[in-house]
Amino acid sequence: MIQLKDVKKRFGRTNDEILAVDGVSLTIDEGEIFGIIGYSGAGKSTLIRLLNGLETPTTGTIKIGNREISAFTGKELREARQKISMIFQHFNLLWSRTVKQNIAFPLEIAGVKKADRERKVAELIELVGLSGREDAYPSELSGGQKQRVGIARALANDPEVLLCDEATSALDPETTDAILDLLTNINERLGLTIVLITHEMHVIRKICHRVAVMEAGKVVEIGPVLDVFQSPQAPITKRFVSQVTEPAGTDQAIAHLPGGTLIKLVFVGEKTEHPVLASLIRKFDVDVNIVQGNISHTKGGAYGSLILQLLGNENDIDTAIAYLHELGVQTEVIGNE
């Protein structure tokens, strides 16, 4: 559906050049929700602007469907953009227009007849859950309702791709989850390909099928979300994963533990439901203290992590760890005193 091949984007002159996107190659499948995560300055916002033609790559190619959008200009580019919609962090609504007038705006520009516009707007208002708010102005809406208007407006021209630029960053956690649920519903009902950029791993965990991690303009890791959670490779990916798998204060709690062996267990899929801890205590002469535990649910399945302190004879502890490996539980010794 979307293919980027060795895409680079430079800004500035030769002596003062910024390489915002550095040799990115990736493929996004039709109908998937694909996440791009990175901290400020990673290049993710530039990358998403390349996808809708707001920026042109310095080198490399970008294809959406069978169209090489990176080669389009003028009328061809404008027509291609009609199938690539975008929603933004700060909504970008027209404040002098009502909800239904905001949603109708792209249809007016496209020259759609009034009766067809009204029918389409009514369908979209129901789809995004804004029935009864058709005549409200943006100033009368909550943040979540404003974003729902933005989503409806983005869907007005029946796009093939929906780009989400930090679409939930301005929202509280509860509203964020509601908007993410709406995007998941739209993806499933319409088969819409969604590309979502964020700096929050919670967003990736909740709705994305696959994720690309960006740092300094490069994609440093890419894969199914569950695989990335289970075995993050790049240091920055490990930092992002820890946002949702390790509560704040975990490091301090570990630092103050007196002695013993600290291990981290990782459970994936059905293994999150197995009574591994009870079995460990019954089989081995070791004392087990739970330091921290967490289960996260991704679209690919459940992911659980557990940090334990094991106290006892060194040989018994080694045998217990070997037993965990035999069960297929990913086990890592993270401290030994």
Q: CA-CA distance, 161 to 154, in Å (whole number)? A: 10
Whichever domain contains 15, its CATH number is 3.40.50.300
Query: Which amino acid is residue 82, in one-letter code?
Result: Q
Q: Which of 243, 263, 291 is the last residue of a domain?
A: 243
Q: Which of 193, 209, 243 is the last residue of a domain?
A: 243
Per-residue confidence band for 209, with pLDDT thresholds at 50, 70 and 90: very high
For the chain, the domain total comes to: 2
Q: What pLDDT, on the 0 to 100 scale, is given for residue 9?
A: 95
117 and 220 together in one domain: yes
191 and 268 together in one domain: no
Mean local confidence (pLDDT), 16-38:
94
Q: CA-CA distance, 44 to 170, in Å (whole number)? A: 18
100 pLDDT above the threshold of 90:
yes
- Burial of residue 38 (CB within 10 Å: 0-12, 13-18, 19+) is buried
Query: For 180, how many CA atoms within 13 A lie in the half-sphere containing its CB?
Result: 27
3 pLDDT above the threshold of 70:
yes
Q: What pLDDT, on the 0 to 100 scale, is given for residue 270?
A: 63
Q: Which domain holds residue 134?
A: 2-243
Q: What is the mean pLDDT of the chain?
A: 88
Find the range with the poorest average confidence among 33-37, 233-237, 280-284: 280-284
Find the angle CA(168)-CA(171)-CA(175) to the nearest 5 degrees.
Answer: 95
- For residue 200, the 8-state DSSP code is -
Q: What pLDDT, on the 0 to 100 scale, is given for residue 96?
A: 95
223 and 275 together in one domain: no
39 and 111 together in one domain: yes
85 and 122 together in one domain: yes
49 and 167 together in one domain: yes
Q: What pLDDT, on the 0 to 100 scale, is given for residue 273?
A: 60
Query: 119-128 — which CB contacts under 8 Å span 24+ positions?
Result: 120/156, 121/152, 121/156, 124/152, 124/155, 124/156, 125/99, 125/100, 125/152, 127/152, 127/155, 127/186, 127/189, 128/152, 128/182
Token digits for 323?
A: 């037993």
194 and 46 together in one domain: yes
Length of the chain counted residue by residue: 337
Residue 134: which of 98, 160, 167 has the closest Cα?
98
